[in-house]
Amino acid sequence: MATRNRTLLFKKHRDALKSVRASSISSSSSSGGPVIELVSTSLLHPNRSYTPLSTEDPGSSSRDALTIGLPPAWVDVSEEITANMQCARTKMAELFKAHAKALMPSFGDGKEDQQMIEVLTQEITDLLKRSEKRLLKLSASGPSEDSNVRKNVQRFLATDLQNLSVELRKKQSAYLKHLRQQKEGQNGVDLEMNLNDKSKVEDDDFIDMGFNDYQMAKLKKREAFTLEREREIRQVVESVNELAQIMKDLSVLVIDQGTIVDRIDYNIQNVAATVEEGYKQLQKAERTQRKGGMVMCATVLVIMCFIMLVLLILKEIFL
Amino acid sequence: MVLVSAVRDYINRMLQDISGMKVLLLDSYTVSVVSVAYSQSELLQKEVFLVELIGSKSKESMSHLKAVFFLRPTTENIQYLRRQLASPRFAEYHLFFSNILNDTQIHILADSDEQEVVKQVQEFYADFVAIDPYHFTLNVQSNHIYMLPVVMDPSSLQNYCDCVVDGIAAVFLALKRRPVIRYQRTSDVAKRIAQETANLMYQKETGLFDFRRAEISPLLLVVDRRDDPITPLLNQWTYQAMVHELIGIQDNKVDLRSIGKISKDQQEVVLSSEQDVFFKSNMYENFGDLGMNIKRMVDEFQQVAKSNQNIQTIEDMAKFVDNYPEYRKMQGNVSKHVTMVTEMSKIVEERKLMLVSQTEQDLACNGGQVATFEAVTNFLNDESVSDIDCLRLVMLYALRFEKENPLQIMQLFNKLSSRSSKYKPGLVQFLLKQAGVDKRTGDLYGNRDLLNIARNMARGLKGIENVYTQHQPLLFQTMENLTKGRLRDVDYPFVGNHFQQGRPQDVVIFVVGGTTYEEARAVALQNATNSGIRFILGGSVVLNSKRFLKDLEEAQRIVRSSTNAI
């Protein structure tokens, strides 16, 4: 693992050459940091290009572009997602602490802990969902390099996001399991279910005698109860579905490790192939476009001929 | 883990100090170096969002990215960088070179960096393709050149030697050691490479190679492929070697497109001992055991698949979602190996390789002359045996009985040339000229001194476990001799006056002309025995019989055209 750093030597050469150059041109910047250098050259250029006798530097435009060049808009999006995820991460740490605290035996009824956990979970899920939505916006079409970069950024963030959500789910299920164990330890069997069953039997006994008010009220209550339950179940199913959807969306983006898609050289070849393909498509498009123009031109000419002919005939007839 | 982890460390160090979004630019060689050791997803974790080959025609300016170049210090690359630096596309330039830069090159770069975008220039010596932990290759272009005599084409031979010397130097720099060097006496090219390496390490760059270590220096042994021409001619029956022989592995990648219709995601697959646990534990197993292991893996997979099928409760669902990525990975892996083995057994069936290989092994190991002659003649008469197999059989026979019975060999030549015109009749003679008994140093067939003959007889009495894998490459003997300190100084002399003191702990064996996976297996098994010496095998390329024959043909063509010209 030996390495050799040649930067010093390189810089020495560079500085030496620069001083040579400076003395030969006579008007040049001092040996400052690279940033200053850039700014000063870009300031110098306009002056130079306005002097009519200037014969040098056709590459000034690229230099100016370099100094001005702002990152494209998607960089902000990716930064936002990163920030979101960072936020989610800290929240998750809090959540785990809250989990641990809630699981500890305490004298209070733990309502506050519960509430806090609920709020935190909600927040984290929201953050993750939002990040995921933003992430889908990152994708770009077209075989250009920029879109490639975007795709890779997207992949990177997707992997991160997936890891995060998997972690969240694992912790949550572990927490629920603990909770259930504690509850079972406390009151053994689920009393409510037993009661329900018993009352059901009673109901069946009375069913052919007609309903009295008490029974009607009871029925109503139970109906409401069932509705409530159904709603809850639906909610759970919905959240599970949502989660599955997120997983599916992400898994399209995430690379399987150890497969050919994960190979660097394969990806490069792929890029080259797609770029070539894109170029071909472009050529084709150009051809068709040109052809379209020609056809248009011909049509116009034909129409003009026709009109002229009509005019000629009219002229022959009327004059 | 030595070689692969060294390359990985280099790449890690390259990327970790540069914050922000990066683009990695590689040349056609360093792509191989990086991709065998590092994966795309790992690169993404280091915030490398674009990997590009230099020389691609893209002009897009990306001033929000920092460029990390990892290139060989060749003249073309330096020129390319010059053009790049004249009109920079990226915000910062971090230049890493895979080998020693000379002062002029630094000068040129410094001269063209007018806008001071270059932030660092470093030498990171990852100039070899580490395909396995103890096996590296240099992927040298036009590998046939080592067979040509010096006078034929001095400049390209010089290029070849420079390439090899650079690669060897990089390996030792990565290991942080300076070796003592030995070479095979009868090979001119091995001698030349050994001497040039010594020159580089002890004179030109002596400061760089001076690691001030008190331990015993490691050993570099440079040998010639032509010392053991039979190993690349044999059919292989262990997994990795077999895949390379029948299908072909390039930088741990197998291209299955040539074989026939295969589903789209399996057209190209990765066979890396680093990423694939099943492959790691089976790469040295023979074909029969491999079949058993694959069956076991498929059974396991079926069980997992079944448990995934009955999902009834929400808990099951959650569990399924949790295990899904793992499941998918397993599925991909299973289908990959099953496809590979199916394809290989198809080829084996088609080419009657079971029969052919038996005779090959007989020729390589036992050598009953009458019986093998008959067998080879029968194969030559058999239409269903492919031409390349016939050619190999005749070559093996000729190598074995070169001196004993020239008449029979002539008979076989005639038969071969009457059978197919594709392989020019001179090829076998050319092989004999190149790698005949007079040229060889090592005791290839174990029949030169009494001790070896006795050992062979003992082995014959003991019986053989598997007919198809009884051949031991010559390298095995060399390693054994090295461990026992019996490698003769006359046959493998030292370069200069740096001699071995005591037994070396690290030995790098470099085979000029290319290694085979059979030898890599021998090295890996030797290292697993913990004899106290760690062997590393390297070569200019990784050979299979097709590649070896192609090199031979190419060299023969050049030799013949030049003699015609004179």
Dump pLDDT digits (tens) for B473-505.
889 888 988 888 888 888 899 988 777 777 888
* Highest mean pLDDT, choosing among A126-135, A298-307, B456-465: A298-307
For residue B141, what are the contacts with CB-CB under 8 A and spacing of at least 6? none
Check whether residue B342 and residue B391 sit in a common domain.
no
pLDDT at B92 over 80: yes
Average pLDDT over residues B84-98: 89
Is A72 an interface residue toward B (CB < 8 Å)? yes
Check whether residue B394 and residue B490 sit in a common domain.
no
State the DSSP H helix or E strand holding residue B52, giving kind and residue range, or none if neither.
strand B48-53
Check whether residue B118 and residue B210 sit in a common domain.
no
Question: Per-residue DSSP letters for A145-196?
Answer: HHHHHHHHHHHHHHHHHHHHHHHHHHHHHHHHHHHHHHHHHHH-S-HHHHHH
pLDDT band for B277, please (50, 70, 90 cuts).
confident
State the DSSP H helix or E strand holding residue B62, giving kind and residue range, or none if neither.
strand B62-71
Check whether residue A239 and residue A285 sit in a common domain.
no
Q: At what angle do helices B387-400 and B426-435 cross, to 10 degrees?
A: 40
The angle formed by the CA atoms of residues A287, A289 and A295, to the nearest 5 degrees, is 105
| Residue after which a domain boundary falls, among B297, B317, B350 | B350
Give residue A27's pLDDT.
47
Residue contact B62–A146, C-beta within 8 A = yes
Bridge-based pairing of strands B180-183 and B219-224 is: parallel
* A260 DSSP β-pair partners: none
Check whether residue B445 and residue B512 sit in a common domain.
no
Q: Smallest Cα–Cα separation from A144: which of B20, B56, B206?
A: B56
Q: Which residues of B79-99 are buried (b: 16+ CB within 10 A; e: fewer)?
A: ebbeebbeebbbbbbbbbbbb
Task: Specify if B306 maps to a domain.
Answer: yes
Give residue A31's pLDDT.
41
Higher local confidence (pLDDT), B451 or B232: B232
Check whether residue A252 and residue A291 sit in a common domain.
no
Check whether residue A226 and residue A304 sit in a common domain.
no
Domains in chain B, number: 4
Check whether residue B345 and residue B291 sit in a common domain.
yes
How long a stretch of residues is chain B?
A: 566
Model confidence pLDDT, tens digit, residues B235-267: 999 999 999 999 899 888 888 887 766 676 677
Residue contact A240–B39, C-beta within 8 A = no
pLDDT band for B295, please (50, 70, 90 cuts).
very high
Average pLDDT over residues A127-155: 75
Task: Specify if A117 maps to a domain.
Answer: yes
Q: Smallest Cα–Cα separation from B166: which of B418, B538, B529?
A: B538
Residue contact A14–B113, C-beta within 8 A = yes
Give residue A56's pLDDT.
40
pLDDT band for A50, please (50, 70, 90 cuts).
very low
Give residue B451's pLDDT.
66
pLDDT at A259 over 80: no
Q: How many CB atoms lie within 10 A of CB B365?
A: 19
* B118 DSSP β-pair partners: B93
CA distance A105 to chain B (A): 27
Nearest CA in chain A to B125: A3
Contact (Cβ atoms closer than 8 angstroms) between residue B408 and residue B401: yes
Higher local confidence (pLDDT), B102 or B212: B102
Give residue A53's pLDDT.
41
Check whether residue B53 and residue B19 sit in a common domain.
yes
Check whether residue A157 and residue A251 sit in a common domain.
yes
Check whether residue B342 and residue B383 sit in a common domain.
no
Lowest mean pLDDT across A248-252, A291-295, B295-299: A248-252
Is A177 an interface residue toward B (CB < 8 Å)? no
Task: Specify if B314 maps to a domain.
Answer: yes
Domains in chain A, number: 2
Model confidence pLDDT, tens digit, residues B96-118: 999 998 889 998 888 888 888 89
Which ipTM value was assigned to this complex? 0.76
Average pLDDT over residues A56-78: 56
For residue B291, what are the contacts with CB-CB under 8 A and spacing of at least 6? B341
Q: Out of B13, B60, B211, name the one closest to residue A145 (CB).
A: B60
B293-298's contacts with Cβ under 8 Å and 24+ in sequence apart are: B294/B337, B294/B338, B294/B341, B297/B334, B297/B337, B298/B334, B298/B338
Give residue B137's pLDDT.
94
Give CA–CA dist B385/B359, Å, rounded: 13
Reduced to 3 states, what is the DSSP secondary structure of residue B119? strand
Give CA–CA dist B290/B348, Å, rounded: 15
Check whether residue B279 and residue B338 sit in a common domain.
yes
Please report residues of B whose CB lies closer than 8 A to that of A69: 61, 63-64
Residue A137 sits in a domain whose CATH number is 1.20.58.70
Q: Smallest Cα–Cα separation from B503: which of B222, B175, B215?
A: B215
Give residue A49's pLDDT.
39
pLDDT band for B45, please (50, 70, 90 cuts).
confident
* B181 DSSP β-pair partners: B220
Give residue B136's pLDDT.
94
Give residue A40's pLDDT.
41
* Residue owning tokens 């995060």: A164
Give CA–CA dist B352/B364, Å, rounded: 19
Residue contact A37–B115, C-beta within 8 A = yes
Check whether residue B338 and residue B446 sit in a common domain.
no
Reduced to 3 states, what is the DSSP secondary structure of residue B71? strand
Task: Specify if A14 maps to a domain.
Answer: no
Task: Specify if A249 maps to a domain.
Answer: yes
Please report residues of A whose CB lies closer than 8 A to that of B318: 169, 173, 240
pLDDT at B310 over 90: no
Q: Out of A6, A256, A265, name the one closest to residue B35 (CB).
A: A265
Model confidence pLDDT, tens digit, residues B329-360: 888 888 889 988 988 998 898 888 888 888 88
Task: Specify if A56 maps to a domain.
Answer: no
CA distance B276 to chain A (A): 7
Check whether residue A188 and residue A112 sit in a common domain.
yes
* Highest mean pLDDT, choosing among B58-67, B257-266, B533-542: B533-542
Q: Out of A7, A18, A156, name the one closest to residue B122 (CB).
A: A7
Check whether residue B116 and residue B200 sit in a common domain.
no
Check whether residue A221 and residue A308 sit in a common domain.
no
* Residue owning tokens 């001790």: B451
Residue contact A268–B38, C-beta within 8 A = no
Residue contact A264–B38, C-beta within 8 A = yes
Name the token pair of B146: 């080592």
Q: Smallest Cα–Cα separation from B228: which of B430, B431, B403?
A: B431
Nearest CA in chain B to A166: B322
List the helix and strand counts (H, then E) for chain A.
9, 1
| B145 secondary structure, DSSP code | G
* Residue owning tokens 């990163």: A82
Q: Out of A21, A260, A264, name the one closest to residue B31 (CB).
A: A264
Contact (Cβ atoms closer than 8 angstroms) between residue B414 and residue B544: no
Task: Specify if A41 maps to a domain.
Answer: no
Give CA–CA dist B141/B145, Å, rounded: 9
Region label for B272, one of left (φ > 0), alpha (ψ between -120 and 50) or beta (otherwise): beta
Model confidence pLDDT, tens digit, residues A14-44: 888 888 887 776 544 444 444 444 444 444 4
Burial class (CB within 10 angstroms; exposed 0-12, middle 13-18, buried 19+) of B564:
exposed
- The parent domain of residue B73 ranges over 2-126
Name the percent of chain A lying above pLDDT 70: 65
CA dist B363 → A102, A184, B370 (Å):
76, 75, 11
Check whether residue B319 and residue B409 sit in a common domain.
no
Q: Hey, which bits of B174-290 come out as E strands? A: 180-183, 219-224, 249-250, 253-255, 268-270
Name the token pair of B453: 């003959």
Give CA–CA dist B551/B553, Å, rounded: 5
Nearest CA in chain B to A9: B106
Check whether residue A150 and residue A298 sit in a common domain.
no
Q: Out of A1, A236, A258, name the one closest to residue B176 (CB).
A: A1
Bridge-based pairing of strands B249-250 and B219-224 is: unpaired
Name the token pair of B559: 């030799």
Task: Specify if B21 maps to a domain.
Answer: yes
- The parent domain of residue A151 ranges over 73-193+211-257
Residue B29 sits in a domain whose CATH number is 3.40.50.2060
pLDDT band for B149, please (50, 70, 90 cuts).
confident
Residue contact A263–B35, C-beta within 8 A = yes
Q: Smallest Cα–Cα separation from B516: which of B238, B122, B188?
A: B238
Give CA–CA dist B342/B26, Å, rounded: 36
How long a stretch of residues is chain A?
A: 319
Residue contact B64–A267, C-beta within 8 A = no
Q: Out of B41, B314, B318, name the one closest to residue A262 (CB).
A: B41
CA distance A107 to chain B (A): 31
Give residue A144's pLDDT.
65
CA distance B5 to chain A (A): 10
Amino acid at A60: S
Residue contact B6–A1, C-beta within 8 A = yes
| B238 secondary structure, DSSP code | B
Give CA–CA dist B440/B434, Å, rounded: 9
pLDDT at A299 over 50: yes
Nearest CA in chain B to A78: B21
Please report residues of A whose CB lies closer than 8 A to that of B116: 14, 34, 37
Question: Per-residue DSSP letters for B337-377?
Answer: HHHHHHHHHHHHHHTTHHHHHHHHHIIIII--HHHHHHHHH
Q: Out of A41, A166, A264, name the one closest to residue B43 (CB).
A: A264
Give the 3-state secondary structure of A285-297. HHHHHHHHHHHHH
Check whether residue A146 and residue A220 sit in a common domain.
yes
Give CA–CA dist A140/A136, Å, rounded: 9
Name the token pair of A268: 């490069």
Please report residues of A whose CB lies closer than 8 A to that of B207: none
Give CA–CA dist B136/B121, Å, rounded: 26
Give CA–CA dist B389/B387, Å, rounded: 5
pLDDT band for B54, please (50, 70, 90 cuts).
confident
Is A75 an interface residue toward B (CB < 8 Å)? yes
Mean pLDDT of chain B: 85
Contact (Cβ atoms closer than 8 angstroms) between residue A146 and residue B62: yes
CA distance A74 to chain B (A): 11
Q: For chain A, give percent helix, strand, coil, nearest 5.
A: 85, 0, 15
Question: Per-residue DSSP letters for B477-536?
Answer: HHHHHHHHT---TTTSPBSTT----S--SEEEEEEET-B-HHHHHHHHHHHHTT-S-EEE
Q: The sheet that has B90-97: what strands, in order across it?
A: A3-5, B118-124, B90-97, B62-71, B22-26, B48-53
pLDDT band for A60, please (50, 70, 90 cuts).
very low
Q: Hey, which bits of B72-214 come out as E strands? A: 90-97, 118-124, 129-132, 135-137, 180-183
Please report residues of A whose CB lies closer than 8 A to that of B276: 258
Task: Specify if A222 maps to a domain.
Answer: yes
- Best to test chain B binding among A177, A237, A259 (most B CBs inside 10 Å): A259
pLDDT at A66 over 60: no
Residue B517 sits in a domain whose CATH number is 3.40.50.1910
Average pLDDT over residues B152-165: 89
Contact (Cβ atoms closer than 8 angstroms) between residue B276 and residue A258: yes
State the DSSP H helix or E strand holding residue B49, giving kind and residue range, or none if neither.
strand B48-53
* B183 DSSP β-pair partners: B222
CA dist B539 → A5, B151, B306 (Å):
28, 24, 46
Task: Specify if A243 maps to a domain.
Answer: yes
| B23 secondary structure, DSSP code | E
